Protein backbone atom coordinates (compact mmCIF):
# COMPACT_ATOMS: atom_id res chain seq x y z
CA UNK A 1 0.00 0.00 0.00
CA UNK A 2 1.31 3.43 -0.96
CA UNK A 3 1.57 6.01 1.80
CA UNK A 4 -0.44 9.21 1.80
CA UNK A 5 1.45 12.49 1.64
CA UNK A 6 3.68 13.26 4.63
CA UNK A 7 2.90 10.03 6.51
CA UNK A 8 6.29 8.38 5.91
CA UNK A 9 8.11 11.50 7.12
CA UNK A 10 6.12 11.43 10.35
CA UNK A 11 6.73 7.69 10.74
CA UNK A 12 10.48 8.08 10.29
CA UNK A 13 10.53 10.89 12.85
CA UNK A 14 8.64 8.65 15.27
CA UNK A 15 11.07 5.82 14.53
CA UNK A 16 13.95 8.12 15.51
CA UNK A 17 12.13 9.05 18.73
CA UNK A 18 11.51 5.39 19.61
CA UNK A 19 15.12 4.36 18.90
CA UNK A 20 16.34 7.29 20.98
CA UNK A 21 14.04 6.29 23.84
CA UNK A 22 15.28 2.69 23.67
CA UNK A 23 18.91 3.86 23.84
CA UNK A 24 18.22 6.15 26.77
CA UNK A 25 16.37 3.48 28.74
CA UNK A 26 19.05 0.87 28.04
CA UNK A 27 21.70 3.22 29.45
CA UNK A 28 19.58 4.26 32.44
CA UNK A 29 18.64 0.66 33.25
CA UNK A 30 22.29 -0.37 33.19
CA UNK A 31 23.23 2.50 35.47
CA UNK A 32 20.50 1.57 37.96
CA UNK A 33 21.81 -2.00 37.89
CA UNK A 34 25.32 -0.74 38.50
CA UNK A 35 24.12 1.28 41.51
CA UNK A 36 22.42 -1.83 42.91
CA UNK A 37 18.83 -0.66 42.36
CA UNK A 38 17.61 -4.01 41.14
CA UNK A 39 13.92 -3.13 41.00
CA UNK A 40 14.50 -0.03 38.90
CA UNK A 41 16.98 -1.92 36.75
CA UNK A 42 14.30 -4.51 35.98
CA UNK A 43 11.49 -2.00 35.32
CA UNK A 44 13.56 0.27 33.10
CA UNK A 45 14.97 -2.64 31.15
CA UNK A 46 11.38 -3.73 30.44
CA UNK A 47 10.67 -0.19 29.32
CA UNK A 48 13.62 -0.29 26.92
CA UNK A 49 12.19 -3.47 25.38
CA UNK A 50 8.80 -1.79 24.99
CA UNK A 51 10.45 1.07 23.09
CA UNK A 52 12.29 -1.45 20.88
CA UNK A 53 8.90 -3.07 20.18
CA UNK A 54 7.47 0.35 19.28
CA UNK A 55 10.41 0.95 16.93
CA UNK A 56 9.94 -2.49 15.35
CA UNK A 57 6.23 -1.86 14.81
CA UNK A 58 6.99 1.44 13.07
CA UNK A 59 9.62 -0.20 10.86
CA UNK A 60 7.08 -2.87 9.81
CA UNK A 61 4.47 -0.23 9.11
CA UNK A 62 6.87 1.89 7.02
CA UNK A 63 7.67 -1.21 4.94
CA UNK A 64 3.95 -1.96 4.60
CA UNK A 65 3.51 1.54 3.21
CA UNK A 66 6.37 0.84 0.76
CA UNK A 67 8.66 3.32 2.47
CA UNK A 68 12.25 3.10 3.64
CA UNK A 69 12.80 3.00 7.41
CA UNK A 70 15.65 5.26 8.51
CA UNK A 71 17.62 3.20 11.03
CA UNK A 72 20.61 5.55 11.11
CA UNK A 73 19.17 8.55 12.86
CA UNK A 74 19.21 9.00 16.62
CA UNK A 75 18.12 11.96 18.73
CA UNK A 76 20.00 13.23 21.77
CA UNK A 77 20.33 10.52 24.39
CA UNK A 78 20.25 12.07 27.88
CA UNK A 79 21.72 9.73 30.44
CA UNK A 80 20.98 10.96 33.97
CA UNK A 81 23.77 10.80 36.54
CA UNK A 82 21.29 10.25 39.38
CA UNK A 83 17.97 8.38 39.51
CA UNK A 84 16.05 11.65 39.82
CA UNK A 85 17.89 13.14 36.83
CA UNK A 86 17.04 10.02 34.86
CA UNK A 87 13.35 10.37 35.69
CA UNK A 88 13.42 14.04 34.68
CA UNK A 89 15.07 13.41 31.32
CA UNK A 90 12.89 10.35 30.64
CA UNK A 91 9.79 12.44 31.35
CA UNK A 92 10.99 15.12 28.96
CA UNK A 93 11.61 12.53 26.28
CA UNK A 94 8.22 10.85 26.74
CA UNK A 95 6.42 14.22 26.63
CA UNK A 96 8.16 15.10 23.36
CA UNK A 97 7.28 11.64 22.04
CA UNK A 98 3.61 12.13 22.93
CA UNK A 99 3.58 15.55 21.27
CA UNK A 100 5.04 14.07 18.07
CA UNK A 101 2.53 11.19 18.12
CA UNK A 102 -0.34 13.66 18.50
CA UNK A 103 0.89 15.74 15.57
CA UNK A 104 1.24 12.58 13.46
CA UNK A 105 -2.25 11.37 14.44
CA UNK A 106 -3.65 14.77 13.43
CA UNK A 107 -1.87 14.54 10.10
CA UNK A 108 -3.16 10.99 9.44
CA UNK A 109 -6.66 12.23 10.16
CA UNK A 110 -6.23 15.06 7.68
CA UNK A 111 -4.97 12.83 4.85
CA UNK A 112 -7.37 9.98 5.67
CA UNK A 113 -4.84 7.31 6.76
CA UNK A 114 -6.88 5.54 9.42
CA UNK A 115 -4.68 2.44 9.66
CA UNK A 116 -1.63 4.47 10.61
CA UNK A 117 -3.70 6.65 12.92
CA UNK A 118 -4.95 3.56 14.76
CA UNK A 119 -1.38 2.25 15.22
CA UNK A 120 -0.16 5.58 16.51
CA UNK A 121 -3.11 5.87 18.87
CA UNK A 122 -2.14 2.54 20.44
CA UNK A 123 1.42 3.78 20.85
CA UNK A 124 0.26 6.99 22.46
CA UNK A 125 -1.66 4.96 25.07
CA UNK A 126 1.63 3.24 26.00
CA UNK A 127 3.41 6.60 26.02
CA UNK A 128 0.73 8.00 28.35
CA UNK A 129 1.38 5.07 30.70
CA UNK A 130 5.13 5.72 30.60
CA UNK A 131 4.52 9.36 31.53
CA UNK A 132 2.14 8.35 34.30
CA UNK A 133 4.69 5.91 35.77
CA UNK A 134 7.44 8.56 35.80
CA UNK A 135 5.15 11.15 37.40
CA UNK A 136 4.15 8.62 40.05
CA UNK A 137 7.80 7.87 40.89
CA UNK A 138 8.58 11.57 41.22
CA UNK A 139 5.54 12.15 43.42
CA UNK A 140 6.48 9.17 45.62
CA UNK A 141 9.98 10.60 46.03
CA UNK A 142 8.45 13.93 47.02
CA UNK A 143 6.29 12.22 49.63
CA UNK A 144 8.63 9.64 51.18
CA UNK A 145 11.98 11.24 50.40
CA UNK A 146 14.67 10.12 47.99
CA UNK A 147 16.53 7.90 50.47
CA UNK A 148 13.43 5.92 51.41
CA UNK A 149 12.47 5.58 47.78
CA UNK A 150 15.91 4.36 46.75
CA UNK A 151 16.22 1.91 49.64
CA UNK A 152 13.03 0.23 48.33
CA UNK A 153 14.67 -0.13 44.91
CA UNK A 154 17.57 -2.18 46.24
CA UNK A 155 15.36 -5.12 47.14
CA UNK A 156 14.79 -7.85 44.65
CA UNK A 157 11.20 -8.58 43.68
CA UNK A 158 9.60 -11.82 44.83
FE1 LIG B 1 7.55 4.39 22.65
FE1 LIG C 1 7.74 5.52 25.99
How do residues 25-62 score in pLDDT, each as one tens digit?
999 999 999 999 999 999 999 999 999 999 999 999 99
By CB neighbour count within 10 A (0-12 exposed, 13-18 middle, 19+ buried), where does 4 fall?
middle
Ligand closest to CA 94: 2
In this prediction the pTM is 0.95
d(CA 81, ligand 1 centre) in Å: 22
CB atoms within 10 A of CB 90: 23
Query: Nearest to residue 86, comparing CAs of 157, 150, 154?
Result: 150
d(CA 110, ligand 2 centre) in Å: 25
What domains, with CATH codes, occur in the chain?
Answer: 7-154 (1.20.1260.10)
Residue 155: what pLDDT? 72
What is the spatial distance between Cα 138 and Cα 133, in angstroms, rounded to a whole number?
9
Residue 158: what pLDDT? 52
Query: Nearest to residue 116, comparing CAs of 97, 101, 95?
Result: 101
Residues 82-141: tens digit of each pLDDT: 999 999 999 999 999 999 999 999 999 999 999 999 999 999 999 999 999 999 999 999
Amino acid sequence: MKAKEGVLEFLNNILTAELTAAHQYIANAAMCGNWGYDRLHHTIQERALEEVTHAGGIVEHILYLEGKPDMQRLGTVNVGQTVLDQFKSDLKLEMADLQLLREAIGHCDKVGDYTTRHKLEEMSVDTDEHIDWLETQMETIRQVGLENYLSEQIKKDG
